[in-house]
Amino acid sequence: MTNVPTITLNDGAKIPQLGFGVYQIDPDETADAVKTALDLGYRHIDTAEMYGNERGVGEGIRNAGLTRSEVFITSKLNNGFHRPDDARRAFDGTLKALGFEGDDNYVDLFLIHWPLPTLYDGDYVSTWQTLEEFKKDGRARSIGVSNFQVEHLERLARETETVPAVNQIEVHPYFTNEAVRAYGNDHGIATEAWSPIAQGKVLDDSVVTRIAEATGKSPAQVVLRWHIQRGDIVFPKSVTPKRIEENFALFDFELSGDDVDALSGLDKGEEGRTGPNPDEFDYIPE
């Protein structure tokens, strides 16, 4: 049904390179938005405990008439639950909220949402070892991290057994995050690019609009295609059906090498971040 390429992760699992992100989608609107995306052909949904909408993700999949194994689901550990016992309870909560029974009671990918190096005595290692349990018992088919810097990844490599399957980090033309991507590339960790269109902020850049005019595609399609050609995994978010459809139509055109380089050249380094710096971020939900 879809022509979305898959990426093979370091544990052999396959993930669709393009998915649908549900950050900031109202819990009451999530089932409908997810169903719209699935009806259009998306087969990969990115949610998190902190988004408060995992229940809607499960409902949307069932409402679309799809079976559990037809959709790749990612969720992420709430920042408030890094201690191992809390993480175990939180993970049980994720599976319960998704609402699948028996053999379908699993996530495809579970991530530590943020490293929080200034909290929990700097211990994200025992948190990672707890995710290793979820992988061993089969309730998380793959495990990974999000917002981990090179130093955090190096520490996991020294002190634990499992190399994360993915690192989900902020990446877009204004913040290309090359050092973290390069570490992933060198160590078999797939990069997932969050806020792939910088929440819309890159769309009126003159380089983006020039390439959009030349290719006859929209600015969002040009930027998303740039990610695809760089090999990263993306899951743009929208609740507008027309945009959800537009963001999925990325496989009938190609950017030239010069266009890819021109978009990469928009990088502003640290100034280009739209989100927080993971070295400092210490948000715990109420």
Residues near ligand NAD (CB under 6 A): 21-23, 46, 113, 146-147, 168, 194-200, 203, 220, 235-238, 243, 246-247, 275
- Say which of 51, 106, 124, 174 is annotated catalytic: 51
Contact 277, 270 (CB under 8 A): yes
Q: Please state, in angstroms and rounded to a whole number, the distance separating the CA atoms of residues 87 and 98.
A: 17
Nearer to ligand NAD, 141 or 227 (CB): 227
Nearer to ligand NAD, 147 or 176 (CB): 147
Contact 106, 140 (CB under 8 A): yes
* CA-to-CA dists, residue 18 to 26, 48, 99, angstroms: 22, 17, 24
Which tokens in the block code for residue 23? 């950050």
Q: Beta-strand (E) ranges in 85-187?
A: 107-112, 140-146, 166-170
Residues in the chain: 286
Nearer to ligand NAD, 101 or 209 (CB): 209
Nearer to ligand NAD, 139 or 243 (CB): 243
Quick check: is 183 catalytic? no
Contact 54, 46 (CB under 8 A): no
Shortest Å, Cβ 119 to ligand NAD: 16
DSSP element (H, E) containing 155? helix 150-159
The candidate with the shortest Cα–Cα distance to 18, out of 177, 242, 249, is 249
Nearer to ligand NAD, 95 or 250 (CB): 250
Q: Please state, in angstroms and rounded to a whole number, the distance separating the CA atoms of residues 53 and 119.
A: 25
Shortest Å, Cβ 101 to ligand NAD: 25
Nearer to ligand NAD, 197 or 266 (CB): 197
Shortest Å, Cβ 102 to ligand NAD: 27
What's the one-letter identity of residue 223?
A: V
Shortest Å, Cβ 60 to ligand NAD: 14
Contact 14, 165 (CB under 8 A): no
Shortest Å, Cβ 46 to ligand NAD: 4
Shortest Å, Cβ 239 to ligand NAD: 7
Return the HEC string of 51-73: HCCHHHHHHHHHHCCCCHHHCEE
Q: Please state, in angstroms and rounded to a whole number, the distance separating the CA atoms of residues 185 and 231.
A: 10
With CB atoms as reference, the residue minimizing the distance to ligand NAD is: 21
Any idea what the Cα angle at residue 284 is, between residues 239 and 58, rounded to 5°?
40
Active site (catalytic) residues? 51
